[in-house]
Amino acid sequence: MAQTKQARITAVGHDLPDDRLTNSELEAVVDTNDEWIRSRTGIEERRILKDEDKATAFMGAEAAKEALKQRNISANEIDVIIVATVTPDYLFPATACLIQKELGAVNAFGYDLSAACSGFLFALSNGANQIESGRAEKVLVIGADKMSSIIDYTDRSTCILFGDGAGAVLLEASEDETGIIDYIHHTDGDTDGALYQPAGGSLNPADENTVARRLHYVKQDGRTVFKKAIVGMADVIEEIMEQNRLSANDVDWLAPHQANLRIIEATANRTGLNRDRVMVNIDKYGNTTAATIPLCLYDWKEKLNHNDDIILAAFGGGYTWGSLYLKWGIK
Ligand SMILES: CC(C)(COP(=O)(O)OP(=O)(O)OC[C@H]1O[C@@H](n2cnc3c(N)ncnc32)[C@H](O)[C@@H]1OP(=O)(O)O)[C@@H](O)C(=O)NCCC(=O)NCCS
């Protein structure tokens, strides 16, 4: 087996549908208004994948293709494909299988990982472990969600929040001190239905009743999740900073999950991180679930310097939450 090496991100790709859904367009659909949405969430618009024959695998594959092109490597060099998503094209086969076929990644095995808004973070640490163990040389980690497929556009408390999109990173062994250094992940299944999609799984398979009761859509007790997210995100960032002896000044960038601008700002304040060092693109895309963090990395990649200390952090359904500390490896 190859020698243990730290995993680093060597390329970042993305995919966003062209169609935009603005706050004022939502005003025509539910009882809401632009001012409320902006001030309570920071969201101005989101992207919606409207093509009926396209879904999460399409966006994930496009993001992966961009990452491969950036690194100038062919798909048959990929060993593993991990797809974080809560909106797989099918319950099975896994979205990773569909992406594997689309890419022609004939030497890769792949699987989906379901951890809602923390999915990309968990998938990234998973992928890094495969590189570090020497079992894999090139791993694609993709966060992709077509949230519009599980959103109830008659429910104003959720339909204003979510959008569609995908981000992908390529992981390879690091040749220097850069790469994924540490991570902390948590799960607490005691949510009492605060955030879930009640039907479509093996407990409540689809029937006329589940459809009539709109149980195939996201249900969220926003206020409860909000309180949990603020504490969870800030705690887990402080935890990883402490564990790695990082002060706020040592952290060059924070890439937080984009669920609500107020959660992001409260987290930055509590951890003492300067607001201009915090990646925020929720205004443009809303909450794209597993895609928010790789979309941040994509949008910021021109500003990131080799060796920058970056913390990624997320909180979401499950509950799941976590942080990850890396040194940026792309020159
Ligand atoms: C959903 C969320 C934006 C709601 O914001 P909030 O400030 O908590 O708002 P509340 O739910 O307390 O609702 C306040 C009022 O606004 C109303 N309201 C809710 N949605 C509205 C909308 N889209 N437009 C206008 N008014 C709305 C509510 O009915 C309520 O009215 P009331 O006071 O008359 O009962 C916020 O709770 C949130 O972001 N939650 C966490 C999301 C998250 O992190 N999820 C995890 C990752 S997916």
Which of 226, 282, 285, when mutated, tests ligand 1's pocket best, judged by the most ligand atoms within 8 Å of its CB? 226
In this prediction, residue 4 carries a pLDDT of 63
How many Å from the N-terminal Cα to the C-terminal Cα in the chain? 28
pLDDT exceeds 90 at position 2: no
How far, in Å, is the centroid of ligand 1 from the Cα of 40?
7
In this prediction, residue 5 carries a pLDDT of 83
String of DSSP letters for 214-250: TTTS-EE-HHHHHHHHHHHHHHHHHHHHHHTT--GGG
Residues 283-295: pLDDT tens digits? Answer: 999 999 999 999 9
Residues 84-119: pLDDT tens digits? Answer: 999 999 999 999 999 999 999 999 999 999 999 999
The pLDDT-based confidence of 235 (bands split at 50, 70, 90) is: very high
Whose Cα sits closest to atom 5 in ligand 1? 40
pLDDT exceeds 70 at position 1: no
Residues 11-68: pLDDT tens digits? Answer: 999 999 999 999 999 999 999 999 999 999 999 999 999 999 999 999 999 999 999 9
pLDDT exceeds 50 at position 185: yes
Residues 136-158: pLDDT tens digits? Answer: 999 999 999 999 999 999 999 99
String of DSSP letters for 153-187: TT-HHHHTTB-EEEEEEEEEE-SSS-EEEEEEEEE
What's the predicted TM-score (pTM) here? 0.97
